[in-house]
Amino acid sequence: MTTASIPVLTKKDFQTDQEVRWCPGCGDYAILSAVQSVFPELGIPREKFVVISGIGCSSRFPYYMNTFGFHTIHGRAPAVATGVKIAHPELEVWVATGDGDSLAIGGNHTIHMLRRNVGIKVLMFNNKIYGLTKGQYSPTSEFGKKTKSTPFGTADRPFNPLGLVIGADTSFVARAVDVFQGHLKDTLKKAAAHKGSAYVEILQNCNIFNDGAWFNLTEKEARSEHVVQLEHGKPLIYGKNRDKGIRLNGMELEVVHLGNGNGLTEKDLLVHDEHHKNPAYAYTLAQMEDMPGFPTPIGVLRSWDRDRYEDVMSKQIQDIIAKRGPGDLSKLLRAGDTWEVK
Amino acid sequence: MATITDPVVRAHKREVIEKAVLRFCGDSGDGMQITGSQFTNTVALYGNDLATFPDYPAEIRAPAGTLPGVSGFQIQFSSGDVFTPGDAVDVLVAMNPAALRTNVKDLKANGILILNSDAFTDGDLRKADLTTNPLEDGSLDAYRLFPVGLERLTRTALQDLGLDAKSMDRCKNFFALGMCYWLYNRSMDLTYKWIEDKFKTKALLVEANKLAMRAGYNYCEATEAFQVSYEIPPAKLVPGTYRNLSGNQALAIGFVAASQKAGLPLFLGSYPITPASDILHELSMYKNFGVMTFQAEDEIAAITSAIGAAYSGALALTTTSGPGMALKTEAMGLAVAVELPLIICDIQRGGPSTGLPTKTEQADLLQAMFGRNSEAPIPVLAPSTPGDCFWVAVEAAKIALKYMVPVIILSDGYLANGAEPWRIPTIDEIPGIKVKFAENPIGFHPYSRDPETLARPWAIPGTMGLEHRIGGIEKQDVTGNINYEPLNHEKMVRLRAAKVEAVTQDIPDLVPAGDPDGDLLIVAWGSTYGAITAGMKTMRAKGHRIGHVHLRHLNPLARNLGEVMSRYRQVLVPEMNLGQLLWILRAKYLVDAQGYNKIQGQPFKQSEIEAKIEEILG
């Protein structure tokens, strides 16, 4: 039995002796705790885990995870992780990154890693601000936001992160929230179970430089009215009394009210299909957070299977070896036309 | 179907000579590089020593017939030693007026000039900015001129094949090649074989190219255009099996050899860039050696993916040229900080910025030495000939793995594309490379050190009990924990420098070529080797006492370099830059060395080195 050889791991096994140096009250603590809780449940030996990060508050993550860890340079974690995963496809590689690291300086690596479908799980902590450099706006900051570097407001429209990665044909796209622990852990497990690239946006509060960025979703009162939890095969329904839902009208989504005499029931609502073949479906869901009057969807927006880059590459190597036999150095040196000098 | 008939052999004079320099030049669409490499392979297989210099424009297809579109391929071959592709040309084949105009200045007086006379219409002349026709205006009187209607003759030879005119014209380079084979009494068999292989699915093109080449050969035989043909006997090379090898090929197979010797899979992260791309092309063919080639989204991902592969236990490599080096800078600093083995190949080209993508230069030396933030020393190696690239690849891997450091290889466009006969080593002649992964969790610390090399352990993911964290932030020695303390930082800076300095224990003492002491020491590095060696030989024959050290190790330098320099009255440092090695030598040794600098995108000529020595020593 292979399971017998894997020691039973606990959350404690994934904690390090390093002092955690995030600001008190930072949303990162909740994410760290969730990851440390989920990893032992995956049935994977601890030494197979590699946590890789770039630069930023989120990127201190590897130091607090008792796994193999690599704190690299700004924006480049997906590329470093790609090298690790190609060289050792059997490793369980996770990237911890933020909205600046992943979408500004590392935007190029992010989209290319996702397009290749390298089997890496990306946790993108989105707090809509630059924390480590003390409060400049980020590619996800809302238009017009006044920050240290934009005292009169930003002039650029933010990225919709999930729209962006769906555009890169990412095979697993999800959103979770730092303070919704149960849902976060559940989402992490789903990401872990996915074979290819997984991109999880985690809405995270920076209580120092952008406190309350997500309060309209996370505050008790707002939560049920402003968040819709996606579940595969279930209708998009929300509201304190579960009396609101999302309906598809042609290509457009619309918010509808149930049971107030208009004759609408759950059956009229859009039923979530995370395996929907057309990426436009997931893209449309991703747009909801920017649409006034719409709730923000959390959960898995898209999940579908396609070949992983590292598997295709390994197979190519195996096929060539099967066809030509393993490389013979002596033959390689003597390739082409040779001649003897006596 | 037309058949190939053997020429009627007529009596003509055959002269035995020692060496020749031949250059093919034409439009970049005329197939000059193929023509040149076919000629090269044939003379190599015959046993001549040789050196080649492909010189082509950055534009894939500049407007046909114009000056910027001219592509050339030069070869020197000899029955003696060959160190350079040659200064002046004995035989120039020019396919159009533009090629003639840009190349004729290098042809020796009374040299053989074969011109495609079909390409000298008014329109062709205009494209080359010529107002008069060189075939008629007497400007070529100093040469032995052979105007040959290459297009007309090729079309006549191929008329029965049913090819369209354009396809027939594409074979004219093989007509010219056939003429050169006749001129130097060479067998066409090897090129026949190549044509059959190259066009194996297109029987008609096999026929056409073979026929065109044979027609060129027969043309010389039948018309007695040249009264004499030449014979250059095989060279007396060191016994062994040889092949013809370019610098980029040599690097590629050198890395495969290193990976086999080390028992590690080879990983290349690369982004296409001239003149380094051929290493990527070459290595992507060796999948049966387990070679992983990753064409990254940019130069930064190319090196950082290689760092990831190194972290997880591969022999990792990234290849680029100057602009790409600039982009990799920060990641090289990371490799220094996390002390992982990595090879960075910079195939230098003319700069700054995009500069001269297809031309050679040596101006990235100081970038390789110092081009990173803070104190981030990296060992730097430079090959001196195309074949030497193989050995430098193996040595770079050895140093990287032994000392757990990134290593930079500085090659250049001239070495990359130039070729020479290379004696194929036996597997045993290639040095062994020892690799040890950390395995024992007891007492394991990520930044503990080997006392001799100062290397830290290589503890790869997947090893039970060795879970640890590394990163670009300053860390405490031994534990690797984040540490910002002032004295720890200084200790780590000094340790990283000491580690690079420790490589000197593997660098043999320099032994100057030529005289062990005397009037002048030439200190140089990289692709200038051939011109300096040839030039020095001539000048020593004139009675000067000259030595030459060619530095393979640019960082760290050989321990006895200072002492060697002190044995000569003067020190000369020829470089294809404004004096970068010179700057290092003067700074490090307080030596009054003088530079000799050429920054034209072209290698030194032997005659230039000779003239400089003459100027210094009188």
pLDDT tens per residue across span B54-68: 988 887 778 889 999
Q: Which residue has the tokens 């002046």?
A: B88
- The amino acid sitting at B430 is I
User: What's the domain range around B134?
Assistant: 13-231
Residue B156 has phi, psi (to 5 degrees) of -65, -45
Where is the domain boundary, B183, B199, B231?
B231
Q: Please indicate whether, in this complex, the C-beta atoms of B427 and A329 are within 8 angstroms of each other.
A: yes
On whether both B206 and B137 belong to a single domain, the answer is: yes
The answer to whether position A219 is within a domain reads no
> What is the rounded distance in angstroms from the CA atom of residue B229 to the CA atom of residue B250?
34
Q: Please indicate whether, in this complex, the C-beta atoms of A83 and B481 are within 8 angstroms of each other.
A: no
On whether both B17 and B43 belong to a single domain, the answer is: yes
The answer to whether position A330 is within a domain reads no
pLDDT of residue B34: 95
- In this predicted model, what pLDDT tens digit does every residue of B267-277 receive, in sequence order? 999 999 999 99
B85: Cβ contacts below 8 Å, ≥ 6 apart: B21, B51, B52, B53, B74, B75, B76, B418, B603
| pLDDT, mean of residues A195-216 | 97
On whether both A207 and A234 belong to a single domain, the answer is: no
Q: What is the CATH number of the domain that holds B613?
A: 3.40.50.920
On whether both B66 and B188 belong to a single domain, the answer is: yes
CA triplet A325, A330, A335: central angle to 5 degrees? 85
| pLDDT, mean of residues B43-62 | 88
Give yes or no for residue B225 having a pLDDT over 80.
no
B301 touches chain A (CB under 8 A): yes
The answer to whether position B298 is within a domain reads yes
CA closest to B255 among chain A residues: A329
Q: Which residue has the tokens 């329904």?
A: A237
Q: Provide the number of structural domains found in chain B.
A: 3
On whether both B202 and B265 belong to a single domain, the answer is: no
The answer to whether position B483 is within a domain reads no
The answer to whether position A105 is within a domain reads yes
On whether both B198 and B150 belong to a single domain, the answer is: yes
CB–CB of B325/B368 below 8 Å? yes
Ranges of H-type helices in B236-292? 247-262, 277-283
The answer to whether position B391 is within a domain reads yes
Share of chain A above pLDDT 90, in %: 92
A5 touches chain B (CB under 8 A): no
On whether both A49 and A104 belong to a single domain, the answer is: yes
Report the candidate in A128, A136, A124 with the shortest Cα–Cα distance to residue A162: A124
Distance from CA of A232 to the nearest CA of B (A): 34
On whether both A209 and A79 belong to a single domain, the answer is: yes
Report the candidate in A244, A259, A121, A135 with the shortest Cα–Cα distance to residue A190: A121
CA distances from B444 to A53, B308, B434 (A): 23, 21, 20
On whether both A190 and A102 belong to a single domain, the answer is: yes
- The amino acid sitting at B463 is T
On whether both B157 and B109 belong to a single domain, the answer is: yes
pTM: 0.94
- In this predicted model, what pLDDT tens digit does every residue of B581-605 receive, in sequence order? 999 999 999 999 999 999 999 999 9
CA A244 to chain CA centroid, nearest Å: 28
Q: Which pair of tokens denotes residue A32?
A: 């760290």
Across chain A, how many H-helices and E-strands are there? Answer: 12, 12
Confidence bin at A4 (pLDDT 50/70/90): low
User: Mean pLDDT score of chain B, rounded to an integer?
Assistant: 95
On whether both A181 and A148 belong to a single domain, the answer is: yes
In chain B the first and final C-alpha atoms are separated, in Å, by 66
- In this predicted model, what pLDDT tens digit does every residue of B102-151 receive, in sequence order? 999 999 999 999 999 999 999 999 999 999 999 999 999 999 999 999 99
Q: Which pair of tokens denotes residue B410?
A: 């500085």
pLDDT of residue B59: 79
| pLDDT, mean of residues A232-260 | 94
Q: What is the CATH number of the domain that holds B39?
A: 3.40.920.10
On whether both B218 and B285 belong to a single domain, the answer is: no
Give yes or no for residue B173 having a pLDDT over 60.
yes
Q: Which pair of tokens denotes residue B249?
A: 């090929």
| Residue in A48, A72, A87 nearest the CB of B472 | A72
- In this predicted model, what pLDDT tens digit does every residue of B459-470 receive, in sequence order? 999 999 999 999
On whether both B322 and B397 belong to a single domain, the answer is: yes
Burial class (CB in 10 A: 0-12, 13-18, 19+), B129: exposed
The answer to whether position B473 is within a domain reads no
Q: Which residues of A touch B251 (CB under 8 A)?
A: none
Q: Which residue has the tokens 């071959």?
A: B77
On whether both A19 and A149 belong to a single domain, the answer is: yes
On whether both A16 and A103 belong to a single domain, the answer is: yes
> What is the rounded distance in angstroms from the CA atom of residue A22 to the CA atom of residue B148?
80
- In this predicted model, what pLDDT tens digit does every residue of B118-128 receive, in sequence order? 999 999 999 99
A112 touches chain B (CB under 8 A): yes
The answer to whether position B501 is within a domain reads no
Residues 8-37 of A with CB under 8 A from B: 16, 18
Report the candidate in B267, B370, B278, B376 with the shortest Cα–Cα distance to residue B321: B278
B166: Cβ contacts below 8 Å, ≥ 6 apart: none
The answer to whether position A322 is within a domain reads no
The answer to whether position A185 is within a domain reads yes
Residues 505-544 of B with CB under 8 A from A: none
Give yes or no for residue A36 having a pLDDT over 90.
yes
Q: What is the CATH number of the domain that holds B412?
A: 3.40.50.970
pLDDT of residue B280: 98
Q: Which residues of A touch B190 (CB under 8 A)?
A: 337
On whether both A147 and A285 belong to a single domain, the answer is: no
Q: Which pair of tokens denotes residue B411?
A: 């090659």
Where is the domain boundary, B171, B206, B231?
B231
Confidence bin at B5 (pLDDT 50/70/90): low
CA distances from B263 to B244, B397, B565 (A): 27, 12, 40
Q: Please indicate whether, in this complex, the C-beta atoms of A70 and B311 are within 8 angstroms of each other.
A: yes
Q: What is the CATH number of the domain that holds A67?
A: 3.40.50.970
Residues 225-244 of B with CB under 8 A from A: 234, 236-244
> What is the rounded distance in angstroms from the CA atom of residue B360 to the CA atom of residue B410?
12
The answer to whether position A218 is within a domain reads no
pLDDT of residue A119: 98
The answer to whether position A125 is within a domain reads yes
On whether both B121 and B28 belong to a single domain, the answer is: yes
Query: Three-state SS for B146?
Result: strand
Q: Which helix (H) or strand (E) holds B266?
A: strand B266-270
pLDDT of residue B56: 83
On whether both B319 and B419 belong to a single domain, the answer is: yes
Q: Which pair of tokens denotes residue B185?
A: 């009494």
Q: Please indicate whether, in this complex, the C-beta atoms of A79 and B300 are within 8 angstroms of each other.
A: yes
On whether both A108 and A236 belong to a single domain, the answer is: no
User: What's the domain range around A249?
Assistant: 229-296
> What is the rounded distance in angstroms from the CA atom of residue B264 to the CA atom of residue B286?
14
On whether both A140 and A238 belong to a single domain, the answer is: no
Q: Please indicate whether, in this complex, the C-beta atoms of A86 and B267 are within 8 angstroms of each other.
A: yes
Where is the domain boundary, B429, B448, B475?
B429
Question: ipTM exceeding 0.95?
Answer: yes
On whether both B227 and B248 belong to a single domain, the answer is: no
Output DSSP code: residue B465.
Answer: T
| pLDDT, mean of residues B288-292 | 98
Share of chain B above pLDDT 70, in %: 98
pLDDT of residue B111: 96
Q: Please indicate whether, in this complex, the C-beta atoms of B304 and A337 are within 8 angstroms of each other.
A: no
- The amino acid sitting at B64 is A
Give yes or no for residue B8 having a pLDDT over 70.
no
The answer to whether position A334 is within a domain reads no
Confidence bin at B6 (pLDDT 50/70/90): low
On whether both A209 and A233 belong to a single domain, the answer is: no
- In this predicted model, what pLDDT tens digit does every residue of B492-543 receive, in sequence order? 999 999 999 999 999 999 999 999 999 999 999 999 999 999 999 999 999 9
Report the candidate in B35, B42, B59, B3 with the shortest Cα–Cα distance to residue B356: B59
Interface size, chain A vs chain B, as Cβ–Cβ contacts under 8 Å: 211
CA dihedral (B361, B366, B370, B373) positive or negative: negative
B7 touches chain A (CB under 8 A): no
> What is the rounded distance in angstroms from the CA atom of residue B347 to the CA atom of residue B271?
13
- In this predicted model, what pLDDT tens digit does every residue of A273-321 receive, in sequence order? 999 999 999 999 999 999 999 999 999 999 999 999 999 999 999 999 9
CA closest to A320 among chain B residues: B288
> What is the rounded distance in angstroms from the CA atom of residue B604 to the CA atom of residue B550?
15
Question: For A290, what's the count of Cα atoms within 13 Å in the CB-facing half-sphere?
Answer: 16
Distance from CA of B236 to the nearest CA of A (A): 8
On whether both A163 and A268 belong to a single domain, the answer is: no
| pLDDT, mean of residues A204-217 | 96
- In this predicted model, what pLDDT tens digit does every residue of A65-114 receive, in sequence order? 999 999 999 999 999 999 999 999 999 999 999 999 999 999 999 999 99
CA distances from B1 to A126, B157, B192 (A): 72, 12, 17
On whether both B522 and B377 belong to a single domain, the answer is: no
A45 touches chain B (CB under 8 A): yes
Give yes or no for residue A2 having a pLDDT over 50.
no
B231: Cβ contacts below 8 Å, ≥ 6 apart: B14, B15, B16, B17, B184, B185
CB–CB of B182/B33 below 8 Å? no
Give yes or no for residue A1 having a pLDDT over 50.
no
A183 touches chain B (CB under 8 A): no
pLDDT of residue A260: 79
Q: Provide the number of structural domains found in chain A.
A: 2
